[in-house]
Amino acid sequence: MSDIKSILTSEKGRFNKWMLIVLLVLIFLTLLELSFGSSGLSISELFSPTEEFSRDVFFEIRIPRILTAIIIGASLSFAGLIMQTVFRNPLVGPSVLGISSAAGLGVALVTMAGFTSLFSDNSTAKIIAAIVFSFSILILLFSVANRFKDNVSVLIMGMLISYLASAIVDILIYVSDNESLKEYSMWGMGSFSRMSYMQIGIMVFILLVSFISVYRDRILLNQYLIGELQEIAPKKKRELVFKLLLISGLITAFVTAYCGPIAFIGIAIPNLLRFVLGISNHKYLLIGSIVLGSTVALACDLLSSMPWSVDSLPVNAVTSLFGIPIIIMLVFKSRNKGL
């Protein structure tokens, strides 16, 4: 008992020190992104009474983009942590398991069929399609996990789903007109610059409700991860898993519909907390994933916007360059431990 208490105390100390540092970095990155942009306007020009254009740039472009990066990074890392807990596998996530690809396929079907535009303010059709496809794939993956009891089978199934979704999207692109092709290509690169204040508010509400719901079950999450709920409370386990899948699918669907596929944030952030900081308690993982996910997403957006240039890189490419080395490190670390 004393050993457990000492471990928890040690985790709390590391977490508090880390939280302070990451919050300071988040504030610093926010100021950087406010201060730099392709328009060349500095933050000091925001307070100029004669610069109406400057205020439009800050309040209509930069601030929504910053808020989007923060909330999307937090949402994806939170959803990734939930999925890794459900499947008891640190290598799963919205992008790796094919959840994002399935949501993207749903969005492609409704947009290329002419029901809505990818960049339209009315995103109802996109969201419904993304939710339906995300939930369908989550249910399929969990069925595979329960039947085969094998993490490799889940990963293989996720990869196959991603390839299948990509193949169907390629067919849709082939038969679509040039305007739809260009629109989908731009959307597929991912961006934090498309969300309105209303959509940001919706995502904040979804994340806040989801976090409160999951955080209340943080002790059950710890028990589930080590297999205690399997024998003690099978009914409670089923209810917990269903809720977690519902939340992770909902978050992934909304993120994909609003911003396009944002890769590797969901899988990389929880692993950084576990393997770099040595945190395993969901009391800290849940909070840490949100804070670190926000910071990393904002850093990736700052790099993608290339403030020293008028051009910008796809956010999806930058997040992939960040996440892939972490996954490679995780694989080698797991092999060295004999996992």
What does the pLDDT look like over 132-164, one tens digit per residue? 888 888 888 878 777 776 667 777 888 888 888
Range of the domain at 200: 2-336
Q: What is the mean pLDDT of residues 321-338?
A: 75
pTM: 0.85
Where residue 338 falls among pLDDT bands split at 50, 70, 90? Answer: very low
DSSP per-residue string spanning 272-320: IIIIIS----HHHHHHHHHHHHHHHHHHHHHHHH-TTSS----HHHHHH
Where residue 203 falls among pLDDT bands split at 50, 70, 90? Answer: very high
Sequence-separated (6 or more) residues with CB below 8 Å from residue 206: 75, 250, 251, 254
Encode burial over 90-105: b for 16+ CB neighbours within 10 A, e otherwise: bbbbbbbbbbbbbbbb
Query: For residue 2, what pLDDT is reported?
Result: 44
Specify the range with the lowest mean pLDDT, choosing from 64-78, 222-236, 309-323.
222-236
Q: What is the CATH number of the domain that holds 94?
A: 1.10.3470.10
Judge whether residue 256 has pLDDT over 80: yes
Tokens 């100029």 correspond to what residue? 48
What does the pLDDT look like over 298-326, one tens digit per residue? 999 988 887 656 667 888 889 988 888 88
Where residue 79 falls among pLDDT bands split at 50, 70, 90? Answer: very high
Query: For residue 100, what pLDDT is reported?
Result: 84
Query: For residue 257, what pLDDT is reported?
Result: 84
Q: Number of folded domains in the chain?
A: 1
